[in-house]
Amino acid sequence: MRKAGILLPVTALPSKYGIGCFSKAAYDFTDRLAEAGQSYWQVLPLGHAGYGDSPYQSFSSFAGNPYMVSLEELTDEGLLSKEECESADCGKDEEYIDYEKIYNSRYPLLKKAYERSNILSDSGYRQFERENSGWLEDYALFMAVKEHFNQKPFYEWDDDIRRKTPDAVKTYKEMLSSETGFWKFVQYKFSYQYGKLKEYAKKNGIGIIGDIPIYTAADSADVWANPELFQLDEDGRPEYVAGCPPDGFSAEGQLWGNPLYKWERHKEDGFSWWTERLRHSFDMYDILRIDHFRGFDEYYSIKYGSKNAVKGEWKKGPGIELFNEAERKHGKKEVIAEDLGYITDSVRKLVSDTGYCGMKVLEFAFDSRDTGAANDYLPHNYVKDCVVYTGTHDNQTLVSWFEEIAPDEKNAVRDYLCDYYTPDEKMYMPIICLAMQSPAKLCIIPMQDWLGLDDRARINVPSTIGKNWCWRLKEEDFSPNTAKEINRITKRYSR
């Protein structure tokens, strides 16, 4: 069945406390999605964002983002007062997240809520603690010790706890018991609040499409607790890191800096860490998008300390074995494989063998710099089992993209659409309709494109830091009239 959805990060929701979260605004957005005739809400990774506030650089592959815990709900529970929340400086710009202010205001409030919670008497908390002990204990201790060492990366901690010796773990757990309790409390509240929102969405016919990065952050509980699974030196620093080679878009390539996996070690124990990560994600989402899927076929390896990604080499990944093992343990699941960029026949075969849906991005279909791959993104060449996007969180908004592409590329778009009269600034709507009418079984449109916003609403510019992940939706933007128009277009194309 043909379906449609909207892409919007949770953090981009309206909120009077500076950043989107699981508050009433999330429920209101879900209601509006239903009014708009949508079947899915696609979110970015919900993990505890670390370096650069990027959801793709998380302190844990399992933990949720503390910023998404609703202060309003904690107030309703009597753990915070409305006055305490309103007196905190969370930033005043309703369209922009000020992460420095959020960091300085949110954690003191969450710690007050924890201190008042009497959480150990909560049977639900005890159950959560038992069911998630496999990752929760390491994560809570990691975050507590990190705070103890003034937020230094774990490879700069004292040697004994850096190496996670049993004696050091015992010592720090006793010394930081209150701090580890706080991080567990936050994760419990995240899980509880997200679970309620997901159930509400389900009752309203809205599924959640989640997202996980292929790699972990170098400074993460994952790497600290499982160093044998990563390509590290004896001090815990990466030996080789991930990225992408130079192409028509970047002369120096992309240097991500994530440590690479020791895939042979993963294979030896039946990919247990990865399959547990996938199980956790399958439990959270109705459909799972896996970022940089081609890295499971071949991954680009760059020597740690390199200034760019020019000097790297392709290495063989785990291939189909990982996904066969995941299916054996968890059954067949709905997955979107992010197979963008330079795609080889072996990557195409891996996506086909898994039975997952690949991705198509219309902004890539008319790029004169990459004519070899462009045809793969033209709708008349789509296979049914794919997901089409106008653009992703890493791309320009449609308005700015069409404004900035070369004249011959604009002509190619208009020729393909047989549209020579729509003004440039309104061309986003015919392009959205092109995605909606395509053969793809699922069509996902970023909220900014439906609203006709320019790059001031862009989510991320890859390989840059400082201004990403900051845009927020204003409460009045997704109006009933907008939802009605989206519904009309969605029904027009039988989605």
Q: What are phi and psi of 467, to 5 degrees?
A: -130, 10
Instruction: Give the pLDDT of residue 370.
Output: 58
Nearest Cα to Cα of residue 272 among 225, 200, 329, 314:
329
- Asked if residue 147 has pLDDT above 90, the reply is yes
Write down the pTM of the prediction.
Answer: 0.96
The rounded distance, in Å, linking the Cα atoms of 202 and 50 is 30
Q: Respond yes or no: is residue 385 known to be catalytic.
A: no
Contact yes or no for 84/108 (Cβ under 8 A): no
Which helix (H) or strand (E) is 207 found in, with range? strand 207-212
Question: What CATH homologous superfamily does 3-492 map to?
Answer: Glycosidases (3.20.20.80)
Contact criterion met (CB below 8 Å) for 428 and 457? no
**Average pLDDT over all residues of the chain:** 95
Mean pLDDT in residue range 103-117? 97
Q: What is the end-to-end Cα distance of the chain in Å, rounded?
A: 8
Q: Report the C-alpha gap between 186 and 275 in whole angstroms.
A: 25
Q: Mean pLDDT throughout 40-52?
A: 95
Q: Which of 31, 95, 147, 394 is catalytic?
A: 394
Q: Which of 72, 291, 376, 449 is catalytic?
A: 291
Catalytic residue among 338, 339, 363, 376: 338
Of the candidates 388, 387, 409, 405, which has an alpha carbon nearest to the alpha carbon of residue 455? 405
The DSSP code sequence of 253-274 is -EEEEEEPB-HHHHHHTTTHHH
pLDDT score, position 482: 97
Based on the number of CB atoms within 10 Å of its own CB, is 121 exposed (0-12), middle (13-18) or buried (19 or more)? exposed
Percentage above 90 pLDDT, the chain = 92
pLDDT digits (tens, 9 = 90+) for 237-279: 999 999 999 877 778 888 999 999 999 999 999 999 999 999 9
Among this protein's residues, is 394 annotated catalytic? yes
CB neighbours (10 Å) of residue 468? 18
Does residue 371 register a pLDDT over 60? Answer: no
- For residue 375, the 8-state DSSP code is G
Q: Are 261 and 324 in contact (CB under 8 A)?
A: no
Percent of the chain with pLDDT over 70: 99
Residue 338 known to be catalytic: yes
